[in-house]
Amino acid sequence: MQLVIFGATGTVGRQVVQQALEQGHIVTAFARNLSKLDVQHPQLNFAQGDVMDSSAVEQAILGKDAVVCVLGSGKKLKSTIRSEGTQQIIQAMEKVGVRRLICQSTLGTGDSWSNLDFYWKYVMFGFILRQVFADHERQEALVKNSRLDWTIVRPGAFTNGPHTGHYRHNFSSTDRNITLQISRADVADFILKQLSDRSSLHQTPSLSY
């Protein structure tokens, strides 16, 4: 497939790029600073731009089969780039006629809130990452209200662990027998599997060990 990945230089984005290339996809990596992505491959194309630049976003999406959104704000705790950037992506996709969107959010949004423990509910998302969490919720609302063929992936806390391909997903919101953690490599693995999984359309699968 021809994919465009927004947030390609992020910690998850780099994993998505690498694994997509290994699987034979033709990848366009979109980011503001592509020098952060130290990858060379004959099927890798680069699109340097700001996700808030509608014309640059449209140009990157035009002619693609699917869009992967793994936007992040780094260590900025008050950024709204996830929701605002996702809105630009949605508008561009609807304009140029590309329908398949896979968007990475976070475990805890929507009905997955009840999967969290006290620490994540009241310390991390309730205090430290409160604004980051709110931005994820805004992002999800925009995706759900779009006319696209979307899937929202809700991973637990990221680790630097290996790509195992063995993890839990689509578990119920009442399931507390999870670690609330998942490696970035396995998040990428699951994201790419959704490209060929029509059962995930308009679904919000959670992801954890």
pLDDT for 136 beyond 90: yes
> What's the confidence (pLDDT) of residue 164?
98
In degrees rounded to 5, what are phi and psi of residue 173?
A: -70, -10
Comparing C-alpha atoms, which of 3, 151, 7 is closest to residue 66? 3
Q: By percentage, how much of the chain surpasses pLDDT 90?
A: 92
pLDDT for 60 beyond 90: yes
pLDDT in tens, 8-53: 999 999 999 999 999 999 999 999 998 889 899 999 999 999 999 9
> What's the confidence (pLDDT) of residue 75?
81
pLDDT in tens, 80-129: 999 999 999 999 999 999 999 999 999 999 999 999 999 999 999 999 99
Give the helix/strand (H/E) hosting 73: none
Half-sphere exposure for 48 (CA within 13 Å, toward CB)? 5
Domain ranges across the chain: 2-208
- Matching residue, tokens 């805004």: 138
- Cβ atoms within 10 A of the Cβ of 168, count? 15
* Predicted TM-score (pTM) above 0.85: yes
Mean pLDDT of the region 150-166: 97
2-208, CATH topology level: Rossmann fold (3.40.50)
Mean pLDDT of the region 149-177: 96
Report residue 129 as tokens. Answer: 């990452």
